[in-house]
Copies of this chain bind each other. A is one copy, B any other.
Amino acid sequence: MTGASGITTPGTDARRRHDPNVRGFASDNYSGVHPEILAAIALANDGHQVAYGADDYTAHLQEVFRGHFGERAEAFPVFNGTGANVVALQSLLPRWGAVVAAESAHINVDECGAPEKIAGIKILTVPTPDGKLTPELIDQQAWGWGDEHRAQPLAVSITQSTELGTCYTAEEITAICEHAHERGMLVHMDGSRIANAAATLGLPLRAFTTDAGVDILSYGGTKNGLLLGECVVVLNPDAVRDILFLRKMSMQLASKMRFISVQFEALLTGDLWLRNATHANTMAKRLEQAVRAVEGVQVVRPVQANAVFALLPREVSERLQKTYRFYFWNEHTGEVRWMAAFDTTESDIDAFAAAIAEEMAKQG
């Protein structure tokens, strides 16, 4: 089953169509599935299990999540990050509600308007220098309660680690939650890359979520090594209800849920989540260090997770893209984003850094 690209293998009519040794820097979800996750899927196979989440794996998963997020945590597996975010935000907001978020938030820029289009959620955006909200920034949009002309700002959404590769400290999140709660707002965390943040902070997950006052979390599995799967995790069940109905009506209810749940079990029971995240972060740091040594390449944002944002001549980037996949983050400035994944290797990094240096050298 693991032969070279294109050859037939016994046991399936499908063929391998790609080179399993090629990795790029475009996105952490270009990666595949961690072998321990595949093994877990196989383990949960065979026999019948009740569909739609009433299976033994999803039942056990509650314990797993309670271990990380405290005794009141409840986990609801869903398909993808947009789904997790939209289900979570709906649970926090009445029909006339709005959520305050950074302008760079995934919910604002990368979900094709799903929060607005699927759930009627208005996003009140705030420009930020580094993808991070603060109480002061939140206040730019957090006002007008009781005024029926204004979609009511009743939630705040933060991303940890952020879309710009930065991390909130536990104290910063605590301050945001306190600020929000004092104003009657609830707090959602988009944790698409939460493991990377935990690795950076050196803290248990609950230290900067449950303990910091976050009410609901989109826990990201896919970028952390799963085949597919995210979890809506309710941290404050007093504030958040009815995820079951919201998940189903939002088309995020998996029938064979055991296969999502068992992946999370494999990820979160031991330290696989942390190993994967730490590795990705380390690879990003390695890349950062390597390119900081290349004249003409500027690392333009703090590398606090698994992303490196850099400025270099556009022609250089375009030449590099012939061999290595990555994206321009900002078409106007030419800023690029390089992501490391759980499966990025040291030699991937070293080869890429060498190629960057080489192409820069050609610039003269």
Please give the residue numbers on chain A whose beta carbons come within 8 Å of chain B beta carbons, in ascending order. Answer: 1-2, 9, 11-24, 26-27, 29-33, 35-52, 55-57, 60, 79-83, 86, 90, 94-96, 98, 109-114, 116-122, 125, 143, 148-152, 222-223, 227-228, 242, 244-256, 258-260, 262-263, 265-266, 269-270, 272, 325, 331, 341, 343
Contacts and interface: CB of A to CB of B under 8 A. Distances in A.
B256 A149 contact: no
A272 B11 CA distance: 11
A260 B256 CA distance: 14
A114 to B, nearest CB: 5
Contact of A113 (B12, B46, B82, B96): B96
8 contacts: A14-B39, A22-B48, A30-B51, A32-B47, A95-B117, A110-B150, A111-B251, A148-B247
A191 B30 CA distance: 30
Interface of A is mostly: loop
A239 to B, nearest CB: 15
Contacts of A265: 13-15
B13 A36 contact: yes
A35 B30 CA distance: 25
A256 B16 contact: no
B251 A114 contact: yes
A145 to B, nearest CB: 11
B55 A18 contact: yes
B256 A227 contact: yes
Q: Which of A51, A152, A245 is the most central at the interface, judged by chain B CB atoms within 10 Å of its CB?
A: A245
A251 B248 contact: no
A15 B43 CA distance: 7
A13 to B, nearest CB: 4
Contacts of A9: 39, 43
Contacts of A112: 96, 148-151, 245, 248-249
